[in-house]
Chain A
Amino acid sequence: MTPELAGSQIVIELVYLIASVLFILSLKWMSSPTTARHGIWAGEIGMLLAICGTLLHHGIVDYRLIAIALVLGTIIGVPLGRVAMTAVPQRTALSHAFGALCVTLVGSAEFYLRAPNISRFMMSVLSLEVILGGLTVTGSLMAAGKLQEILPQRPLTYKGQNLVNFVLLAVAVAIAVTLVLHPGDHSLFPFMVLIALAFGVLLIIPIGGADMPTVISLLNGYAGLSAAAMGFVLDSKLLIIAGALDGSSGLILSIIMSKAMNRSFTNVLFGAFGQVQAASAAGEEARPVRSATPEEAAAILSAANRVIVVPGYGMAVAQAQHKVRELFDALSKRGVDVRFAIHPVAGRMPGHMNVLLAEADIPYDRLIEMDEINGDFPQTDVALVIGANDVTNPAARSDASSPIYGMPILDVDKAHTVMVIKRSMNPGFAGIDNPLYYLDNTLMLFGDAKAFVGSIVRELGGGHG
């Protein structure tokens, strides 16, 4: 069975065991905001223990290079931990790329150290590690580029796209199979990695901004699975556990996101959302809408008893969250009950809106999930939509021809009055027309979200200039 372990080896394994327990506790404590910060401490201690334990490894001869790498990583990591909250989605995508880069490089190095003495199972896992890792590296970089708006956010599609992707993946798998059977074929290995890298790029090209929450979750899952595969290759139980935890986290989030968009995984990855909608929006003619000034909006809001604010990605783009807090304060002072309705896919990553509103000092018990708050809209005086579009589109409930038909939405149209802050009547990110804007109880507030909310706050006499 197991070979005799040296004394130091036993110590290292025990340290890894403690680290594994701490990692699981770390995630367990994330279940509630009151215990979540313990979770970070547990994670940090686990990580520190694991790294120190690893340094005891008897084979290590060169500590200098390790130290330089650790310092360099810290120097890069600190600014990545200090980015603005609005930049968190692209930072997260970038860190998926870094994590996957680490896994891919270690996998490649292990291949060259061991080949051709690699068992078939080991080679299969190693191939899985570098293919998943490779596509996550470039896929995440593409996602980060799109989120940072270095790359065009509109989905890019071309004829036969899925076929090209499929063929590419098939070739990578074919190379992997060849390597499993003949691990001595060194020269094939770089091609497998290159194809995985190319596949990652092509996978994200057709993805639009509205699909980013699902895609980031999916890449998170891939990064986790590739790390778990690396654990198999290195025979590291700690790595298998951490990878499995990360993988299941990414998977659960992807499922939640897909459900919130009423779409399947394959649909998100191979669907190229934007194209369909551009076609359906094209036939629309201009219909009359009612609009209102900041004064009128302020008057309606201050007369209300219950207000639900529906934030979306537009609020993040306009950096309006701090003005929204001032509005929250001004209305609360007047005795208005103000809550926030959070759609699972509002924003560009899971939970994006919660973080932005928490940053603006809005108490988290005012942030209510979709399922919990949807029943309250009929008793709500004003639903104020700020920079959200598709997640409020009643066509998702009623119009079977709509591309978002069946997607769960926030039922803002059931509120007595709906106010929508929007730059213009241009269709939103996904390019779908929103019938909400033409309803009799809807008032359009045209303007920049930050400026408009600021004007309302001034009217209410609660702003700071």
Chain B
Amino acid sequence: MNSSSNLIDALFIFVLAGFIGFEVIRRVSPLLHTPLMSLTNALDAIAVVGAIVLVGEHKSTLSAVFGFIAVVAATSNIVGGFFITDRMLKMFKSSRPAAKPVVK
């Protein structure tokens, strides 16, 4: 699992994803920089998958306890992050009636 070819693969993925991130996020309107940050924060909490495995495998008490706290911390970021991002985006309304009606 830790073979060097896997690590090279991982590096490729990291660099390419970094480029995609750079290009995509460069285009985000400055208007939405605050919701962008809370959204990336929620997405970053995908680290919860590593923590879930730690808790579930229960290989040692330490790993289960650390994993447990980690799952709690990450889940609160997922729930809180998506929730507040949605609340913020709902508030952005255009004055132009031509735009689609805001979905409540």
Contacts and interface: CB of A to CB of B under 8 A. Distances in A.
B93 to A, nearest CB: 6
A246 B44 contact: yes
Q: Which residue of B58, B81, B86 has the most chain A CB atoms within 10 A of its CB atom?
A: B81
A299 interface: no
A220 B86 CA distance: 19
Contact of B91 (A23, A32, A101, A355): A355
B52 A365 contact: no
Interface in B9-42: 10, 13-15, 17-18, 20-22, 24-42
Nearest to B4: A121
A24 B28 CA distance: 13
Contact of B58 (A62, A121, A349, A365): A62
Given A33-B92, A243-B44, A244-B17, A351 B77 contact: no
A72 B14 contact: no
A268 B102 CA distance: 40
B82 A40 contact: yes
Contacts of B60: 112-113
Nearest to A358: B91
Contacts of A26: 39, 43
19 contacts: A27-B36, A30-B35, A51-B48, A55-B56, A68-B68, A73-B76, A76-B75, A76-B80, A79-B80, A80-B76, A91-B38, A106-B70, A109-B67, A112-B60, A245-B17, A349-B37, A350-B36, A358-B92, A366-B95
B28 to A, nearest CB: 5
Given A91-B84, A105-B70, A253 B33 contact: yes
Interface stretch (A170-178, A194-202, A229-237, A434-442): A229-237
Contacts of B26: 252
- At the interface, is chain B mostly helix, strand, loop or mixed? helix
Contacts of B77: 77, 95, 98-99, 102
A344 interface: yes
Nearest to A244: B17
Nearest to A112: B62
A62 B65 CA distance: 13
Interface of B: 1-2, 4-7, 10, 13-15, 17-18, 20-22, 24-60, 62-64, 66-96, 99-100, 103
A102 B37 contact: no
A305 interface: no
A349 B34 contact: yes
A248 B36 contact: no
A423 interface: no
B29 to A, nearest CB: 6
A121 to B, nearest CB: 6
Contact of B38 (A55, A95, A122, A248): A95
Contact of A102 (B57, B73, B85, B91): B73
A260 to B, nearest CB: 10
B103 A102 contact: no
Interface string A321-353: 000000000000000000000101000011110
A109 B40 contact: no
Contacts of B84: 80-83, 88, 91
A54 B45 contact: no
Interface stretch (A42-50, A158-166, A445-453): A42-50
Contacts of B54: 106, 109-110
Nearest to A63: B56
Contacts of B90: 37
Nearest to A368: B31
A50 B46 CA distance: 8
A66 B51 CA distance: 9
Given A59-B57, A69-B71, A245-B43, A252 B22 contact: yes
Nearest to A70: B75
B45 A99 contact: yes
B55 A65 contact: yes
A244 B21 contact: yes
Nearest to A71: B75
Given A239-B47, A342-B30, A34 B36 contact: no
